[in-house]
Structure 1
Amino acid sequence: METELPRMLHARERVIPDETFTFHSSRMRMKHVTAEELVAMNAQTERATMEIADARPDVVASACLVAIMAQGPGYHCNAEAQITGVLDREGVAAPVVSSAGALLRALEALGAKRIAMVTPYMKPLTKLVADYIEDAGCEVVDTLSLEVSDNLAVARLDPAGLREHWRKVDTSDVDALVLSACVQMPSLAAIQPVEDAAGIPVLSAATATVFTALTELGLRTEVPDAGRLLSGEVTMERAPRRAGEPTA
């Protein structure tokens, strides 16, 4: 979230220079990607949201995807509502995006009904993510778990490895490939090359988050070399506005 999202937004500035971005973050602590630590991380949502609210942002994006999806189908709605409630108390009327909800919305925008997926997670967590996506109506045909549990080690994974990892999943009859179902796992450098090689839309939790955030800001969903999802050709409806929230 803290590396690839700013990278994409700043790359966008080079092609649309009159729309610039600042990036502000607050961390919810976690060291190992386990079910117990994911629950403990979610408990820090209110504190982190209050800190972000001080920056008076135009949109708020939340990670991590698995922390939400591990809580059971549809939980991203609860998480987004919790953040919205804190922002409201702080007088901030900004749309809220979660990486979990963003991935589901991006898959729908692409018209993807069958997908393959690569994750850094241990296999039980990958299954939770797959079950969550399937509950939302998208079949997960095949997955690859890299089985890295240390959160910092996930961030250090070389995205170049994904140019080979994707070949280990069955993409013969899918509508899209989720190259990284985790915002923490770097993937941006591999998105366009793998899409070119696979011949199908390739996205990640990070590109889906940028796509959804740009949509909620009412901006063109275009980032160079970030796959079809961010080509500017894929669009979706914005979420319903709430009282006091900007419309453009």
Structure 2
Amino acid sequence: MIVPSSNLTMETELPRMLRAREEAEPGDRFVFHSARARMQHVTPEQLLAMNQQATRAAAELADGRPDVVATACLVAIMAQGPGYHCTAEDDITGALRAEGCSAPVVSSAGALLSGIAALSARKVAILTPYMKPLTKAVADYIEDAGIEVVDAVSLEVPDNLAVARLDPADLREHHRKLDLARADALVLSACVQMPSLPAIQPVEDEVGIPVLSAATATAFRILTELGLPPRVPGVGRLLSGVEEPAA
């Protein structure tokens, strides 16, 4: 996985989900490795600079011959404009192929769209840690993919390390600021740095609609790309075994 240098969350939440899957599916075994790209503050300038480091990080990962590579900074990709996840995935794929690595590539930005589609959701509400302009960029990106964002809440935390220190238990209150009356699904954390995993299932149980995050969507895509059923217990309907719709 390629992560921002200040990300402390994906290297916690994703392995936790894979370990839970190992316990549920004893035949599965996963190993996890990452490369870092410099980014300290969630600003347009640092996000762009981080994207420019992705091919270098991919080449480093290629040496380990992974079975799948994920690039995990949702807003860095979405801030570049609608559809940019396709460009980012193609660039990383090219860097891997140049090093003789045939692994498929997943982006958290593309994975979130895939996860929403897998749930057959057409209208979503989102919760982000970003400043409002970046939340709008994320909402616009999602809407460009044909999914209506019916409501959004920004926690407005610009420092990426401060985002990692947010308490996921607080999401069980923050989501109540959203109007979910028209939503088919709730994106509880539209950010790979904002911790949310312990809150996904409790909030889903409360609101009665599917709840997902950038992290659970990334796990969904990783398992799908590996040809494995997308099942991880206790982290929401997306990872309960739903199959991704045919394109």
Fold-level similarity (TM above 0.5): yes
Q: Distance in 1 between matches of 2:56 and 2:160?
A: 21
Q: Distance in 2 between matches of 1:154 and 1:147?
A: 9
Alignment-derived partner of residue 153 in structure 2: 144
| TM superposition shift of 1:46 | 1.2
For each residue in 1:88-126, what CA deviation from the matched residue of structure 2 results, as whole angstroms up to 9, or x when unmatched?
Answer: 001111110000000001111111100000000000000
Maintained 8 Å contact 2:117/2:245: no
TM-score by structure 1 length? 0.94
Alignment-derived partner of residue 236 in structure 1: 244
Give the number of aligned pairs.
Answer: 238
TM-score by structure 2 length? 0.95
Matched, 1:28 2:37: yes
| Residue 66 (structure 1) aligned to one of 65, 71, 75 | 75
| TM superposition shift of 1:162 | 0.3
Q: How does 1:131-210 map to 2 (within 5 A)?
A: 131-210=140-219
Matched, 1:91 2:100: yes
Counterpart residue type for residue 142 of structure 1: D
| Residue 221 (structure 2) aligned to one of 195, 205, 212 | 212
For each residue in 1:188-210, what CA deviation from the matched residue of structure 2 results, as whole angstroms up to 9, or x when unmatched?
Answer: 00000000000000000000000
- Unaligned 5+ runs, structure 1: 240-248
Runs of 4+ with >2 A deviation:
none
Matched, 1:12 2:36: no
For each residue in 1:151-188, what CA deviation from the matched residue of structure 2 results, as whole angstroms up to 9, or x when unmatched?
Answer: 11111110000000000001111100000000111000
What secondary structure is seen at the aligned counterpart in 1 of 2:125? Answer: strand
Q: Distance in 1 between matches of 2:29 and 2:217?
A: 19
For each residue in 1:52-87, what CA deviation from the matched residue of structure 2 results, as whole angstroms up to 9, or x when unmatched?
Answer: 111110010111000000000000000000000001
1:209–1:238 Cα change, 3 Å: farther
Q: How does 1:222-233 map to 2 (within 5 A)?
A: 222-232=231-241
Maintained 8 Å contact 1:113/1:138: yes
Counterpart residue type for residue 213 of structure 1: I
Q: Distance in 2 between matches of 1:224 and 1:103?
A: 19
Q: Distance in 1 between matches of 2:211 and 2:187?
A: 6
Maintained 8 Å contact 2:175/2:188: yes
Counterpart residue type for residue 83 of structure 1: I
Q: Distance in 2 between matches of 1:55 and 1:17?
A: 24
What secondary structure is seen at the aligned counterpart in 1 of 2:76? Answer: helix
RMSD after superposition: 1.0
Matched, 1:107 2:107: no
Counterpart residue type for residue 227 of structure 1: G
Counterpart residue type for residue 244 of structure 2: M
Identity, in percent, stands at: 72
| TM superposition shift of 1:237 | 5.3
What secondary structure is seen at the aligned counterpart in 1 of 2:36? Answer: coil
Counterpart residue type for residue 171 of structure 1: L
Q: Distance in 1 between matches of 2:36 and 2:170?
A: 27
| TM superposition shift of 1:238 | 7.8
Alignment-derived partner of residue 243 in structure 1: none
Maintained 8 Å contact 1:216/1:238: no
Maintained 8 Å contact 1:68/1:100: yes
| TM superposition shift of 1:50 | 0.9
For each residue in 1:18-64, what CA deviation from the matched residue of structure 2 results, as whole angstroms up to 9, or x when unmatched?
Answer: 10100000011111000111001111111110111111100101110
Maintained 8 Å contact 1:113/1:137: yes
